[in-house]
């Protein structure tokens, strides 16, 4: 069986921050999803964020899946406005301990957090104190409040389809495309690390999350600073919600002092992005596909990679990728899906420390078919860094920087034909390509 899917995805123009959305649809059903929604606490960024959320609400009123990579303000500050204009079925968030959430909160406090509206700042405090509760409260006005799926770190790689697929499967024939089913009914199945859209029992699209095991070097130093400030007696105090609530509500200045002390202890090279949930959206690696570029409606920016585009999308949030080991972990985690990726959102808005050329490993081996690299950034903190843009372009890939202006918003559209992978009877019996 072969089905036709109309796929569109938008990188919204919020500058430094991140707001990505997509739609997977047939003529009979559709699945809308969002990955992060926020911008820096600066007046121009917040104004762009509100504009983009407003346009998003005109296009999508029902978000089936909403993924949050982490709890930095510039990735979550648009959620109250977004959800005011749309219903949400499920949130997916990384499992982040209270000490790390407080560390993130304190780090964001050092940036100011004074230019966002008071209700947004209040929501951000609630999110740090109790992420599931804060998110559920945003949907209390719905007929049924959204559920929250918490995804913990894992040491296993390429979950959950580690079948040795290391290159894109062969494409569909023209005859198979001509006979594709147009009105497939997409049925969602939700597991913590993998959400699938199926028709007639065949998975035709998936959303795969990955949360890396991170070395929390700053957490002990931060706890020690909190103890010296007499805010807590030991780390176990942070297991108490009331204690976390008190710190966030009543001790902002002391929290920032403890953060700065911890940073002096661990050194300036420390990256505060401890936990970041990564996301792949695309066909499963055990499928065959043929993809055509379609004209986005409305058309935003010039089409890129019009011939032979890849259907998948991969985003890394703000993952700390300073070390080679962590880059290898990402490559291993997505090794069977990277050959299907046509659009790639590298970590941390194009920060130099989190970019390594080794991240290009595993994509299409033809350098003329490397994925388009998209960055949500407008120059704040030097993002995206010139060396990152130059390295990607010299490798033969294309970069797209989506800034604050509405004209920089990028919507891409694809016609994706997906069919089950042909395999030898022995391989099928052994489950080599099974779901």
pLDDT in tens, 338-354: 999 999 999 999 898 88
pLDDT of residue 321: 87
Most confident of 10-14, 200-204, 273-277: 10-14
Dihedral sign from CA coordinates of 93, 69, 52, 295: negative
pLDDT of residue 300: 83
**For the stretch 112-130, what's the b/e string if a residue is b when 16 or more beta carbons lie within 10 angstroms of its beta carbon?**
ebeebeeebbebbbbbbbb
- Mean pLDDT of the 53-75 span: 95
Measure Cα distances from 34 to 118, 135, 432 in Å: 24, 14, 32
pLDDT level of residue 158 (50, 70, 90 thresholds): low
pLDDT of residue 95: 87
Q: What is the CA radius of gyration of the chain?
A: 21
Average pLDDT, the chain: 86
47 has a pLDDT exceeding 50 = yes
Task: Provide the whole-model pTM.
Answer: 0.91
Give domain 1-98+115-211+280-435's CATH architecture: 4-Layer Sandwich (3.60)
Contact 172, 283 (CB under 8 A): no
Contact 363, 339 (CB under 8 A): yes
Going by C-alpha positions, the residue among 172, 208, 398, 145 that lies closest to residue 291 is: 172
Most confident of 314-323, 338-347, 362-371: 338-347
pLDDT level of residue 170 (50, 70, 90 thresholds): low
272 has a pLDDT exceeding 90 = no
Condensed to tens digits (0 to 9), the pLDDT of residues 122-140 reads 999 999 999 999 999 999 9
pLDDT level of residue 373 (50, 70, 90 thresholds): very high
Locate 312 and state its tokens: 């998948």
177 has a pLDDT exceeding 60 = yes
Q: Quick one: which H or E segment has residue 246?
A: helix 241-250
Measure Cα distances from 65 to 124, 141, 195, 200 in Å: 20, 18, 9, 21
pLDDT of residue 289: 87
Q: Which residue has the tokens 């990728």?
A: 321
Contacts of 244 (CB under 8 A, 6+ apart): 98, 101, 102, 128, 129, 238
pLDDT of residue 281: 97
427 has a pLDDT exceeding 80 = no
pLDDT of residue 97: 86
Condensed to tens digits (0 to 9), the pLDDT of residues 218-262 reads 788 889 999 999 999 999 999 899 999 999 999 999 999 998 988
Locate 319 and state its tokens: 């993952």
Dihedral sign from CA coordinates of 82, 87, 92, 96: positive
pLDDT of residue 367: 75
266 has a pLDDT exceeding 80 = no
Contact 17, 376 (CB under 8 A): yes
- Mean pLDDT of the 59-63 span: 94
**In the chain, what percentage of residues exceed pLDDT 70?**
89
Backbone angles phi, psi at 201, to 5 degrees: 80, 0
For the residues of 15-75, what is the DSSP string, one character each?
SSEEEEEEEEE-SS-EEEEEEEEEE-SSHHHHHHHHHHHHHHHHH-SEEEEEE-----HHH
SS3 letters for 134-195?
HHHHHCCCCCCCCEEEEECCCCCCCCCCCCCCCCCCCCCCHHHHHCCECCCCCEEEECCCEE
* Distance of alpha carbon 295 from alpha carbon 293, whole angstroms: 7
Locate 411 and state its tokens: 């919507």
Number of H helices, E strands in the chain: 13, 16
* Distance of alpha carbon 176 from alpha carbon 168, whole angstroms: 18
Q: Which residue has the tokens 């820096």?
A: 40
Q: Where are the domains of the chain?
A: 1-98+115-211+280-435
428 has a pLDDT exceeding 50 = no
Residue of higher predicted confidence among 301 and 125? 125
Residue of higher predicted confidence among 420 and 315? 315
Query: How far is it between the farthest Cα atoms of the chain?
Result: 72
pLDDT of residue 152: 84
- Mean pLDDT of the 76-99 span: 94
Q: In the 8-state DSSP scheme, what is residue 434? A: -
Condensed to tens digits (0 to 9), the pLDDT of residues 380-420 reads 888 899 999 999 999 989 999 999 999 999 999 999 999 86
Please tell me the least confidently modeled range out of 3-12, 271-280, 341-350, 352-361. Answer: 271-280
167 has a pLDDT exceeding 60 = no
Q: Which residue has the tokens 């997916």?
A: 92
Residue of higher predicted confidence among 269 and 225? 225
């Amino acid at each position: 069986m072969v089905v036709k899917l109309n796929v569109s995805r938008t990188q919204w123009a919020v500058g430094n921050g991140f707001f990505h959305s997509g739609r997977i649809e047939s003529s009979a059903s559709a699945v809308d999803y969002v990955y992060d929604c926020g911008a820096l606490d600066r007046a121009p960024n917040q104004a762009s964020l509100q504009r983009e959320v407003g346009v998003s609400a005109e296009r999508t009123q029902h978000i089936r899946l909403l993924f949050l990579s982490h709890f930095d303000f510039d990735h979550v500050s648009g959620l109250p406005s977004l959800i005011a204009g749309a219903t949400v079925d499920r949130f997916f968030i990384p499992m982040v301990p209270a000490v790390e959430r407080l560390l993130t909160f304190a780090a964001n406090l050092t940036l100011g957090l004074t230019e966002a509206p008071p209700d947004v700042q209040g929501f951000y405090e609630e999110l740090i104190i109790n992420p599931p509760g804060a998110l559920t409260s945003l949907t209390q006005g719905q007929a049924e409040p959204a559920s929250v799926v918490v995804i913990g770190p894992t040491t296993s790689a390429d979950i959950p389809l580690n079948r040795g697929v290391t290159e894109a499967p062969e494409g569909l024939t023209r005859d198979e495309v001509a006979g594709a089913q147009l009105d497939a009914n997409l049925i969602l199945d939700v597991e913590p690390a993998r959400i699938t859209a199926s028709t007639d029992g065949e998975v035709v699209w998936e959303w795969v999350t990955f949360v890396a095991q991170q070395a929390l070097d700053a957490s002990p130093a931060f706890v020690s600073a909190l103890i010296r400030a007499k805010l807590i007696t030991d780390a176990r105090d942070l297991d108490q919600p009331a204690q976390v609530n008190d710190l966030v509500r009543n001790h902002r200045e002391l929290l920032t002092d403890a953060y700065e002390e911890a940073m002096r202890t661990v050194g300036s090279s420390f990256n505060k992005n401890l936990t970041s949930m990564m996301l792949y959206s695309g066909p499963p690696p055990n499928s065959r596909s043929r993809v055509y570029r379609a004209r986005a409606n409305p058309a935003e920016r010039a089409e890129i990679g019009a011939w032979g585009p890849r259907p998948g999308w991969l985003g890394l949030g703000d993952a700390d990728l300073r070390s080679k080991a962590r880059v290898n972990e990402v490559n291993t985690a997505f090794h069977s899906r990277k050959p299907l990726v046509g659009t790639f959102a590298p970590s941390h808005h194009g920060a130099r420390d989190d970019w390594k050329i080794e991240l290009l490993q595993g994509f299409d081996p033809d350098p003329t078919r490397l994925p388009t690299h998209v960055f949500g950034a407008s120059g704040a903190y030097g993002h995206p860094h010139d060396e990152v843009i130059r390295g990607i372009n010299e490798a033969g890939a294309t970069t797209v920087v989506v800034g604050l202006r509405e004209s920089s918003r990028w919507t891409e559209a694809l016609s994706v034909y997906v069919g089950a992978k042909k395999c030898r009877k022995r391989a099928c019996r052994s489950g080599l390509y099974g779901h």
